[in-house]
Structure 1
Amino acid sequence: MKLFSISTLVLLLLGTACSNPYTRSTGYIYLQKQHRPEKKWTLVWKDDFNSPNLDTSKWTRIPPGTSDWNKHMSTHQDCFRMDSGYVYLRGIRNPDPASDPRPFITGGIYTKGKFAFQYGKIEIRAKLECATGSWPAMWMLAEQNKYGAYPKNGEIDIMEHLNFEHKVYQTTHSYYTLNLKQTNNPPHSGTAAFNRDGFNTFGIKWFPDKIVFTVNGKETFTYPRITGVDASQWPYDQPFYLLIDQQLGGSWVGKVNPLQLPVQMIVDWVKVYQ
């Protein structure tokens, strides 16, 4: 009986391993197996944010940088809050200007070096608060340097929101769109309406030949891989990691009104399927 149980367990484990829709590279990069579009999606990675603290095996707090998007990023505890199954990424007035001269700071998290995937479906359920100069974003960058310095490896913007608008922006950026200025062959960006006062689910379905953007399960914009153009049009054949951040200010969104802070992006869950 014991031998039967052990052999049965081994068979079950082998069956489970064989049914995985992905292979693992370097332990944390999920590479979708071929011919998956003909099969049902399988959940491969998620975070429900039910723990009292951020899961640092999955996420890192985004440090400050020099670009528009990260110049106010901070690892300060006041920019983050975990409560009742949500993570709050906050844009706040700087509580310690003596040690940090920036007038406001913001919170963001990413999976760089901890989780990345190539092809599949990602969905993120979140509520976007509004303020003048608020710029919450969910986006993806290449985990590995396959083609060279940015923007040659591409960028996938699952969702960006500005100020008090009733729409979100969904975009791809690359050397092809930014340097060669090929923004309409094919169109690289679209907008979509969303419920500004409640939770929404933002996502993409990413295939070897197209990226399909979604809001609340509805397909809103598609960026296809096309032939007969510069090869830099499609750098999306490599693993990408995820960034979720509450940004503030910059040349696109405009100036920040400090009187309207704090502002938050409240994230319920993240799910990745292959």
Structure 2
Amino acid sequence: MKKHILLLLTLAASFTACKVTERSGHNGYLYTQKTGWADKKWKLVWQDDFNGPQIDTTKWTRIPPNNAAWGKHMSADDRCYRIDSGKLYLIGINNPDTLKDPRPFLTGGIYTKGKFAFQYGKIEIHAKLECAQGAWPAMWMLAETDKYGKYPKNGEIDIMEHLNYDSIFYQTTHSYYTLNLKQTEHPPHFGTAALNPLEFNTFGISWYPDKIVFLLNGKETFVYPRVKNVDPSQWPYDQPFYLLIDQQLGGDWVGAVKPGTLPVQMIVDWVKVYQ
């Protein structure tokens, strides 16, 4: 009997040691990769293939409007969302009823805030971007737990931002270090990469305790490293982040929206997170 108990305890310990991810928070929605696993084989820990009849509300919430340049046209309006044949459509439209809502444009976006966040790992998003004047589709990440205070002290990771009809897209980090201390070159905080926005592409990052590797179709495009002997605000990326995917419209960076070029949409095929 003692031998059987010892064997069961050994197997249980071995199984626990093989776990890559620790889960915590309400309903275990914070996925933290254990230290020492950065060079191991990636394991899929979370995904959405959008195969259901509607957005899975256990994973996503429609992004509400806010006063930021990117969020002033965000809407829960059903006309800004569609799932068809295993793909999610996030749509920017001319507002058909400005008496009910005075905003000229409405657009769709989803985030995992309060439902899924992860610290370290790899994320891939397979999607196609449509173009319009004033279109600003984005895939990005914000801190879930506010470890260091209010924005921008917890940082921001922009996996993909595309402007208008550009043949390039941007991959960027923002933080107190880059925005307030203006340290944008030590190290460089953004890169660009070429793409055909009319094709499906896989955008992503591999995120480690000492660097963020930005990816396009599995290939490295830009690296943001953790730097020694600088202000500690340079690296707030040691806490769980949640994901935002949104078809933004308008703002100082992208410029004015031309109503005649709408509707415009971002088509998301799948999202996968590995640790």
Q: TM-score, normalised by structure 1?
A: 0.94
Task: Encode CA deviations 1:182-230: one digit per residue, 9 max, x unaligned.
Answer: 0000000000011222100000000000000000111000000001110
Q: How does 1:1-274 map onto structure 2 within 5 Å? A: 18-26=17-25, 27-274=28-275
1:198 counterpart letter in structure 2: E
* Cα pair distance change 1:130/1:207, threshold 3 Å: same
Runs of 4+ in structure 1 over 6 Å off: 8-15
1:28 counterpart letter in structure 2: Y
- Between the aligned partners of 1:197 and 1:114, the Cα distance in structure 2 is 31
Task: Give structure 2 stretches of 5+ with no counterpart.
Answer: none
- Indicate the larger mover: 91-100 or 241-250: 91-100
- Between the aligned partners of 2:217 and 2:59, the Cα distance in structure 1 is 24
- Between the aligned partners of 2:243 and 2:57, the Cα distance in structure 1 is 14
* Paired-residue identity, %: 70
Task: Encode CA deviations 1:112-146: one digit per residue, 9 max, x unaligned.
Answer: 00000000000000000000000000000000011
- Between the aligned partners of 1:263 and 1:117, the Cα distance in structure 2 is 30
1:97 CA displacement: 1.2
- Between the aligned partners of 1:47 and 1:84, the Cα distance in structure 2 is 14
1:21 counterpart letter in structure 2: V
- Between the aligned partners of 1:10 and 1:48, the Cα distance in structure 2 is 37
- Between the aligned partners of 1:217 and 1:142, the Cα distance in structure 2 is 24
1:22 counterpart letter in structure 2: T
* Cα pair distance change 1:168/1:13, threshold 3 Å: farther
* Cα pair distance change 1:102/1:207, threshold 3 Å: same
1:19 counterpart letter in structure 2: C
Structure 2 counterpart SS, 1:30: strand
1:16 CA displacement: 5.4
- Between the aligned partners of 2:240 and 2:33, the Cα distance in structure 1 is 10
2:240 counterpart letter in structure 1: P
Q: TM-score, normalised by structure 2?
A: 0.94
- Between the aligned partners of 2:80 and 2:9, the Cα distance in structure 1 is 46
- Between the aligned partners of 2:113 and 2:107, the Cα distance in structure 1 is 18
Q: What count of residue pairs does the alignment treat as equivalent?
A: 268
1:20 CA displacement: 2.4
1:147 counterpart letter in structure 2: Y
1:17 CA displacement: 5.2
